[in-house]
Structure 1
Amino acid sequence: MAKNINYVIQSYYENLKGTYKDIADYLLDNSSFNSGLTINDLAKDAGVSISSISRFAKMLGFKNFQDFKLSLLTSDETDQGLFQDIKSTDSYMEMTHKIFNANISTLNATQQILTESQLRQATDIINNSNSVAFFGLGASSVVAQDGFHKFLRSDKKPYYTTDYHMQLMLATKMTAEDCAIVISHSGENKDTLAIVNELRKNNVKIIGITSYGNSTLTSLVNVALLSISEETNYQNEALHAIIAQISLVDTLFMITAIKDEAQTSTVFKEIRNTINMTRKSKTNKKTETL
């Protein structure tokens, strides 16, 4: 399970209501629990029913309360204020320091909620597919295009287009032999969800990448990978999320490439040789200088 349950809760928090939000608030405000904690104790302290605690744990992906409790006991305390606001009075180096630290914090927090099971399931889907298509609109298109660029170096047939209608058409033509990686920060973009519904009609396996654990997107995909981000005065959380989401796609690419090294290495060499043809050699440069 995830290394830091607090980050997992934060990824669900935006859409929580009622009792679930009460439980989340209690857990985020109380980071220290003893090993003798029972479900009755937690329900009493949080002011909710035992069944609510059980349902909350299952919503977060835990099989039972014991697994949930173990994560509570072993999670590192969440850093307060992961992202420092940049002020107009900051020096250039102070601004740079805060920007770099924010990006590093995004990556660290995202890495802490990843699990072996999620990565195994996602990479198995890719390895067992004939092709992989990337879908993302707006800021998410940056991540989708980067994924397409990376997977051109694999033995899979990658697909991507920037236009929404063309993405919808592509989704309509895919089959159960293909897979899709769908990126949406909110997981609620209606156009992105329309694409997902087309993919589901064709039984395409879908890997979702989003910042919200209980979004509509996560309920529709085969496996969801979450990115952690936080809004600041000068950058919205979606911009921070892009960095983590690109790293998630990079992780999927590297794992699948390493697991299928025999096939991928050949493609790597062919791509490298082709790209090298576009570069001037040092010998040519010296000749031109003379």
Structure 2
Amino acid sequence: MAQAIDSLLRSYYDNFSEKYKQIADYIFQESQFNQRLTIQEFAANCGVSTATISRFAKILGFDNFQAFKMALLAKEANTSPLFHEINANDTFTTMAEKIFSSNSNALKATWSLLTEEQLQKAVALINRAHLLSLFGLGASGIVAQDGYHKFLRTSIPTVFNQDYHLQLMQATKLTNQDCAIIISHSGQNKDALELARILKERQVPLIVITSFGNSSLAKLGDITLLSISEETNYRAEALHALIAQISLIDSLFMMVAVNNGQETEQSFKEIRAEIDRTRQ
């Protein structure tokens, strides 16, 4: 988590209280922090109470102030920008280099926010599902479809529909014996929130993939996985997020596949055999 403290803060920022924004703003403007920094000193610098600092650290996923401070101390060693601006004067090879570098950084920053505990919980929810259902609209629908394409290779029955009305119908058919994955970059899309509302009413275990940790959708997830993104010239932040979200789906797929070794291997063989017949 240390490698992405600024990006993590941005993913929560819009929904922070004024006090929390005050803390985040202080962190943004400081390039380095003293190793001997105490919670009392940090609270005084931010103009808030030590209790507020403790709650702030917990919201971000840190166990205590010491763990939070380690992320702050790492800022000095990570001064290069995560995402590079594309300029009209750049050569094509320079543009390509910046895109590859930005994508690589987005993946590293997203990975740094993952914990073993949340991944184990996510895999457990998927493994015990009678039916795995994926949901996503627009660009997020591309991620959901990629997940559908991957999880079809496992022994877990999986469904996905591109059409929103079919997704609504799909959501109403699920139960607490199933599992849903909703992908939404902003976490505030009203259609995605309506799907989540239906799923929560039906007590369906829900995994959320979003770029904003304090969004309405993130708060509804049993497990929320964050994808790091930032807007740059010629490229919306949602496009940065797409690469990271696909990698999160890919990671979940691989973990489930490895966890269900023999069943997955048998499913792979059967699918490969059918596909090979089309190539003869």
TM-score bracket, shorter-length normalisation: over 0.9
1:61 positional shift: 2.1
**1:218 and 1:224 in contact (8 A); partners too:** yes
1:86-101 matches, cutoff 5 A: 86-101=86-101
Q: Tell me the SS of whatever aligns to 1:108.
A: helix
Structure number, greater radius of gyration: 1
Match of 2:44 in 1: 44
* Residue deviations 1:226-269 (CA, integer Å, cap 9, x gap): 00011111110001101100000000000011011011110011
Whether 1:105 aligns to 2:127 is no
1:76 positional shift: 6.8
**1:144 and 1:160 in contact (8 A); partners too:** yes
Match of 1:28 in 2: 28
User: Using the alignment, how far apart are the partners of 2:90 and 2:70 within structure 1?
Assistant: 42
Match of 1:204 in 2: 204
**1:151 and 1:158 in contact (8 A); partners too:** yes
Match of 1:264 in 2: 264
Letter in 2 for 1:129: A
Q: Tell me the SS of whatever aligns to 2:224.
A: strand
User: Using the alignment, how far apart are the partners of 1:100 and 1:4 within structure 2?
Assistant: 18
* Residue deviations 1:34-91 (CA, integer Å, cap 9, x gap): 3432211111111222222122112112333333334434567444432222222222
Letter in 1 for 2:144: A
User: Using the alignment, how far apart are the partners of 2:46 and 2:212 within structure 1?
Assistant: 23
User: Using the alignment, how far apart are the partners of 1:39 and 1:145 within structure 2?
Assistant: 45
Alpha-carbon distance change, 76 to 210 in structure 1, aligned in 2, over 3 angstroms: farther
Aligned residues: 280
**1:4 and 1:76 in contact (8 A); partners too:** no
Q: Tell me the SS of whatever aligns to 2:129.
A: coil
1:175 positional shift: 0.6
Deviates more, 1:206-215 or 1:84-93: 84-93
**1:137 and 1:162 in contact (8 A); partners too:** yes
Q: What residue ranges of structure 1 are gaps of 5+ in the alignment?
A: 281-290
User: Using the alignment, how far apart are the partners of 2:42 and 2:32 within structure 1?
Assistant: 12
Match of 1:11 in 2: 11
Letter in 2 for 1:53: I
* Residue deviations 1:122-147 (CA, integer Å, cap 9, x gap): 11111111111000011100000000
**2:2 and 2:72 in contact (8 A); partners too:** no
Q: Tell me the SS of whatever aligns to 1:224.
A: strand
Alpha-carbon distance change, 86 to 68 in structure 1, aligned in 2, over 3 angstroms: closer
User: Using the alignment, how far apart are the partners of 2:31 and 2:192 within structure 1?
Assistant: 36
Letter in 1 for 2:132: V
Q: Tell me the SS of whatever aligns to 2:135.
A: strand
Q: Tell me the SS of whatever aligns to 1:54.
A: helix
User: Using the alignment, how far apart are the partners of 1:271 and 1:56 within structure 2?
Assistant: 48
Letter in 2 for 1:197: R
Match of 1:84 in 2: 84
Q: What residue ranges of structure 2 are gaps of 5+ in the alignment?
A: none
User: Using the alignment, how far apart are the partners of 1:195 and 1:67 within structure 2?
Assistant: 35
1:16 positional shift: 2.5
Alpha-carbon distance change, 130 to 77 in structure 1, aligned in 2, over 3 angstroms: farther
Deviates more, 1:93-102 or 1:192-201: 93-102
1:37-186 matches, cutoff 5 A: 37-73=37-73, 77-186=77-186
**2:2 and 2:70 in contact (8 A); partners too:** no
Q: Tell me the SS of whatever aligns to 1:180.
A: strand
Q: Tell me the SS of whatever aligns to 1:133.
A: strand
Deviates more, 1:41-50 or 1:202-211: 41-50
1:170 positional shift: 0.5
Match of 1:242 in 2: 242
* Residue deviations 1:166-203 (CA, integer Å, cap 9, x gap): 10110001011100010000000011000001111111
Letter in 1 for 2:10: Q
**1:3 and 1:76 in contact (8 A); partners too:** no
1:2 positional shift: 5.8
Alpha-carbon distance change, 236 to 26 in structure 1, aligned in 2, over 3 angstroms: same
User: Using the alignment, how far apart are the partners of 2:171 and 2:184 within structure 1?
Assistant: 16
User: Using the alignment, how far apart are the partners of 1:187 and 1:72 within structure 2?
Assistant: 26
Deviates more, 1:94-103 or 1:168-177: 94-103
Identity between Structure 1 and Structure 2 (%)? 51
Alpha-carbon distance change, 226 to 76 in structure 1, aligned in 2, over 3 angstroms: farther
